[in-house]
């Protein structure tokens, strides 16, 4: 009887052996797979969820977007006599004529970038404001483009605040830039070329990160900007209040940052390249809603 039991146990053990080994192998595999998943991933997902909730809460109450304070600051700056010539920007023609009163700023952003005969150039909102600050108010443009964007935690600079004001006055409208004059078409074509041109030490183009669906870098989803459907969703949200850096970021700033990610030379505010990329993005976003200032991660 006893001997039988021993035999039996041995038999069971032997039968168990391969299962045990398999189980151990399985545990080892699971453990090493778990070890390969950085703990940051789980944390990223939690952070993403929390940020999404925060954004949702801010969106539910549109007046809680801190970017609106910058739009107000921008409006005050726009209407105040400033600069060496001590004049306001109410004489700045954004495409709907110059002068005080509604109608000059309202809806102007929705039709930018556009060609301006006075400068013989295509300009986006920020480039146009820069031009007006120089020509009307007498500011030195070199000073304005030296450090045009805020560092983390700093408020958007004056030009950016005014761009936020101008954009906010088209909020709720649809992008309707015509971009059909020869120089406007040239600008869109140059933007298209630049968007797809690989360059810099990483040999990246904008398309490397923004011309496919569902790409992401760490936490950030990468919008498929080449696709009008996605471009219409996001382009009209700029300038946007950026939660992670606690300030409004303008489109010129956004593009500077993306070029920085490509390790390209610093993109100059108001440059032909910056306007061309904005023209291209605006063309892709044609018919999309303007919801500026938007809200970004
Ligand atoms: C290395 C990848 C990379 C490249 C190359 C790159 N970007 Fe980006 N881009 C990003 C990331 C990441 C974000 C989102 C950042 C964030 O969430 O804060 C972004 C955001 C944007 C946005 C805002 C999208 C939104 O959600 O509203 C625009 C517009 C944009 N990029 C344009 C460009 C253009 C134009 C170029 C080429 C000059 C370019 N990007 C090149 C990584 C890249």
Ligand 1 centroid to 141 CA: how many Å? 27
Task: Answer yes or no: are the C-beta atoms of 264 and 199 closer than 8 Å.
Answer: yes
Alpha-carbon distance of 196 to 13, in angstroms, equals 65
Ligand 1 centroid to 126 CA: how many Å? 19
Ligand 1 centroid to 257 CA: how many Å? 8
Q: Which atom of ligand 1 is nearest to the CA of 216?
A: 12
Out of 5-19, 191-205, 270-284, least confident range? 5-19
CA dihedral defined by 39, 42, 45, 49, rounded to 10 degrees?
A: -120
Residue corresponding to tokens 């001590």: 86
Ligand 1 centroid to 244 CA: how many Å? 15
pLDDT the model gives residue 179? 96
Mean pLDDT of 74-100: 94
As for ligand 1, residues whose beta carbon falls within 6 Å of it are 195, 204, 206, 208-210, 217, 220, 222-223, 225, 234, 237, 254-255, 258-259, 261-262, 277, 281, 296-297
CA dihedral defined by 291, 207, 56, 296, rounded to 10 degrees?
A: -70
Q: List, for residues 246-271, the tens digit of each pLDDT value.
A: 899 999 999 999 999 999 999 999 99
pLDDT exceeds 90 at position 41: no
Residue bearing the CA closest to ligand 1, atom 5: 206
Q: Which two tokens stand for residue 214?
A: 């569902």
Q: List, for residues 191-212, the tens digit of each pLDDT value.
A: 999 999 999 999 999 999 998 7
C-alpha Rg value of the chain to the nearest Å: 27
pLDDT the model gives residue 31? 46
Ligand 1 centroid to 9 CA: how many Å? 66
Residue bearing the CA closest to ligand 1, atom 34: 206
134-140 long-range contacts (CB < 8 A, ≥24 apart) are 136/83, 136/85, 136/87, 136/89, 136/91, 136/92, 137/82, 137/83, 137/84, 137/85, 137/86, 137/87, 137/89, 138/83, 138/84, 138/85, 139/83, 139/84
CA dihedral defined by 212, 216, 217, 220, rounded to 10 degrees?
A: 120
Alpha-carbon distance of 242 to 254, in angstroms, equals 10
């Amino acid at each position: 009887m006893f001997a039988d039991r021993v035999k039996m146990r041995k038999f069971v053990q032997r039968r168990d052996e391969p299962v045990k080994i398999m189980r151990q192998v399985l545990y080892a595999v699971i453990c090493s797979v778990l070890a390969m998943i950085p703990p940051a991933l789980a944390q990223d997902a939690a952070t993403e969820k929390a940020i999404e909730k925060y954004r949702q809460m801010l969106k539910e109450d549109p007046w809680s977007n801190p970017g609106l304070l910058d739009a107000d600051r921008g409006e005050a700056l726009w209407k105040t006599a400033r600069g060496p010539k001590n004049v306001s920007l109410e004489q700045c023609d954004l495409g709907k004529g110059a002068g005080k009163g509604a109608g000059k700023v309202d809806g102007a952003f929705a039709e930018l970038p556009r060609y301006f005969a006075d400068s013989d150039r295509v300009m986006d909102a920020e480039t146009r404001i820069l031009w007006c600050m120089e020509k009307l108010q007498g500011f030195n443009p070199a000073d304005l483009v030296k450090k045009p964007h805020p560092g983390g935690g700093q408020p958007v600079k004056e030009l950016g605040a005014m761009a936020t004001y101008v954009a906010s006055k088209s909020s709720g409208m649809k992008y309707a830039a015509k971009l059909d004059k020869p120089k406007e078409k040239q600008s869109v074509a140059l933007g298209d070329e630049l968007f797809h041109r690989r360059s810099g030490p990483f040999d990246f183009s904008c398309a490397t990160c923004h011309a496919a669906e569902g790409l992401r870098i760490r936490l950030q989803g990468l919008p498929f900007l080449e696709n009008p459907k996605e471009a219409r969703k996001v382009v009209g949200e700029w300038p946007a209040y950026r939660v992670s850096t606690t300030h409004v970021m303008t489109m010129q700033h956004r593009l500077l940052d993306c070029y920085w990610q490509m390790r390209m030379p610093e993109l100059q505010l108001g440059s032909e390249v910056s306007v061309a990329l904005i023209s291209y993005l605006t063309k892709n976003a044609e018919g999309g809603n303007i919801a500026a200032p938007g809200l970004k991660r």
